[in-house]
Chain A
Amino acid sequence: MTDVLPRPRALLLILALVILAVFPYLYTWPFFGSFLDPFRTFQATRFAIWLIILMGLNLLTGYSGQISLGHGAFIAVGAYIAAILMNDYSVPVFAAVLAAGVLTGLVGFLIGIPALRLSGPYLAIATLALVIVLPNIIKHRLVEDWTGGVMGISLSTSHVPGSLEGMTTDYQWIYYTCMVPAVIMTAMAWSVTRSRVGRAFIALRDSKLGAQQMGIDVSLYRMTAFGLCALYAGTGGALYVYTAGYLGPATFDIGISLTMLVMIVLGGLASILGTIFAAIMMTVRIDFVDFVIGMIPFGDRIGIDTSRDALFGLLLILAIIFTPTGVAGSIREGRERREARRVTGTGAPPSRLARLFRRKA
């Protein structure tokens, strides 16, 4: 792996960063105003939060190979820490988010200790248990004063700090509070996965024995993976509660935890680009189903609207069958195939998706 990006990709990256930097103002420009509006800024904010959260899950599941169905629990821990700090102790948002990330990371690191002995489905169910147990702890009367029990916590909606007033709207302000950490943490994930730590994760995922032979401290690195995963989840949770303004014990339930796992697989495991796709899909998943429903001819005549859950399930199944390595994996394979064709002059085996279309023709 080269340390310097090839030139076209570096240019693309710079372009993407520039777009992200001016995105909340784009809709005020003549051309972009035709398809952008403040709601897109809100969606982009959600995307930034999902990106942080899913990056953590992909570090744990994609890179270190430990399946977690309990990611929602880490998000909730971070969200509650941040909400309590901001509400009860008037901690400024930056400090609260940072504290939430670090503390949740510590919790994750410690949870990594009992998780050391578990693997595969057993680890999956144990982490699932975290999501089930946590709401009950949050609702318990011993901590009710802090967590607000069943009622949850309402924050006063986030506003632009006084010194910046007039320069940005609340929407734009929230966008930057989330997008800046998202970009920093994505860069961090990129460098971690290309460092000694990232290589150790991949080694112990692919062969525990092999990793041990290479002198990798399997226990330490598995715990580190849990800690990193929780650090990201906690930060994302803190940003979520800051932007949403409300947090309850059921905000991050089992359904969300399962959906996140689905999304990182469909985006592409062990891939930064894949996580970006996963975050996009996580943000627009409901709108996408609406879009597909709109595309089906005579849909309203057969009452397609009542089938949206079924349709979503069907889309998931088709996606996992036809793109088994996710969006990022398919892009990579496509590139490798083109490369192979260019080098050898013969056709490399076509992808499953390509075969499907060829058979029809």
Chain B
Amino acid sequence: MAELIQQVATGLSTGSLYAIFALALVLIYRSTRVVNFSQGQMAMFTTFVAWSLLNWGLHFWFAFFLTLLIAGVMGALVEKALMRPVENAPSLNAVILTLGLLTLFGGLALRIWAGEPKTFPSPGVFEGAPLTLGPATISRPNIGVFCTSVLIMVAIYMLFNYTKVGLAMRGAAQNRVASQLVGVRVGRMLALGWALSAMVGAVAGMLLAPTLYLSPSMMMGVLLFGFAAAVLGGLDSPLGAIVGGLVLGVTQNLAGTYIGSDIDIAVAFLAIILVLIVRPTGLFGKQAIGSD
């Protein structure tokens, strides 16, 4: 029993990492209706930027926020320069473009920061002995990741549901022409969606780097699970992203413990297929009206 609880706790902390990535994907999907395959590589790239800033001797938090700023600018630039031309093309073209971005950012990182995987410092607040909650022990960075993911979820939820900008972003994604008619600057909203999503990705990258080490391929595994989590929860639901991430993390951990460590990924993805058969737009996703 104690082992089960410990495994669930470990699963929850793995899952909250997936959840942050899923949140970044949900953010971009909700604001531009694009599934961004390059999310992980963009996050990796910005984390390398943070590493370089730290290497120049900047203070951790200064580097952290500077990186967020750079990530935001980068996201907006990618949208303005590259995504804009494929906006009116078939929707598959945007997918292909993000696949190109995935290769591009991976290649650039390989060129600029080649060599040994780099170590990345953990922010001071995460240091200290692991916490004990009943029979389970959880490390402080894991709690930090979990809390961050919940914070980001709440922020996204507030943005989309309680602010004018959020409403405009949803409108721009859902019906471009109608939004323009009521005075929404659609182009700006799309760029903002990419910027915010790149920032969330950067946070995820910087949280992950201390445990994973920094290398151009560090995000591939996590990104896949982030995708799965987003789809499991429903691509347009921030709450779904968190729940999807946690469910996926726990399923993967339990399957790894009780069925076999070589098959945990397969079980996790089988679970997704099963969920999608029952709920074709994920656990919390809404079926768009009139789409087929």
Q: Which residues does A use to contact B, with CB under 8 Å? A: 61, 67, 114, 117-122, 124-126, 128-130, 132-133, 136-137, 139-140, 207-209, 254, 258, 261-262, 265-266, 269, 303, 306-317, 320-321, 324-325, 352
Across the interface, do B96 and A310 meet the contact criterion of CB distance under 8 Å?
A: no
Known A313-B101, A314-B100: A117·B107 in contact at CB below 8 Å? no
Partner of A320, one of B93, B263, B276: B93
**Chain B interface main SS type:** helix
Across the interface, do B93 and A265 meet the contact criterion of CB distance under 8 Å?
A: yes
Across the interface, do B100 and A316 meet the contact criterion of CB distance under 8 Å?
A: yes
Contacts of A309 in B (CB 8 A): 103-104, 106-107, 110
Across the interface, do B102 and A306 meet the contact criterion of CB distance under 8 Å?
A: no
Contacts of A269 in B (CB 8 A): 90, 92
Count of chain B residues near A, Cβ 8 A: 47
Across the interface, do B292 and A310 meet the contact criterion of CB distance under 8 Å?
A: no
A-B contact pairs, 9 of them (CB 8 A): A67-B95, A114-B273, A114-B276, A119-B291, A126-B273, A128-B227, A309-B107, A310-B108, A313-B102
Q: Across the two chains, which residue of chain A brings its CB closest to B234? A: A122
Known: A136-B265, A269-B90, A310-B108. 13 other contacts (CB 8 A): A114-B273, A121-B231, A133-B273, A137-B266, A139-B262, A261-B95, A262-B99, A265-B96, A269-B92, A306-B110, A314-B104, A316-B97, A316-B104
Smallest beta-carbon distance A104→chain B, Å: 19
Determine the distance from Cα of A167 to Cα of B104 in the docked complex, in whole angstroms: 47
For window 90-123 of B, CB contacts with A under 8 Å fall at 90-93, 95-97, 99-108, 110-111, 114
Q: B239-265 toward A: CB 8 Å interface, digit per residue (1/0)?
A: 000000000000000000000001101
Q: Across the two chains, which residue of chain B brings its CB closest to A312? A: B103
Across the interface, do B280 and A310 meet the contact criterion of CB distance under 8 Å?
A: no
Contacts of A254 in B (CB 8 A): 224
Across the interface, do B265 and A122 meet the contact criterion of CB distance under 8 Å?
A: no
Determine the distance from Cα of A136 to Cα of B227 in the docked complex, in whole angstroms: 19
Across the interface, do A313 and B266 meet the contact criterion of CB distance under 8 Å?
A: no
Query: B169 in the interface, Cβ–Cβ < 8 Å?
Result: no
Q: Across the two chains, which residue of chain B brings its CB closest to A315? A: B100
Across the interface, do A132 and B273 meet the contact criterion of CB distance under 8 Å?
A: no
Determine the distance from Cα of A119 to Cα of B227 in the docked complex, in whole angstroms: 16
Query: B270 in the interface, Cβ–Cβ < 8 Å?
Result: yes
Across the interface, do A129 and B273 meet the contact criterion of CB distance under 8 Å?
A: yes
Known A309-B103, A313-B104, A321-B85: A125·B227 in contact at CB below 8 Å? yes
For window 222-242 of B, CB contacts with A under 8 Å fall at 224, 227-228, 231, 235
Across the interface, do B96 and A266 meet the contact criterion of CB distance under 8 Å?
A: yes
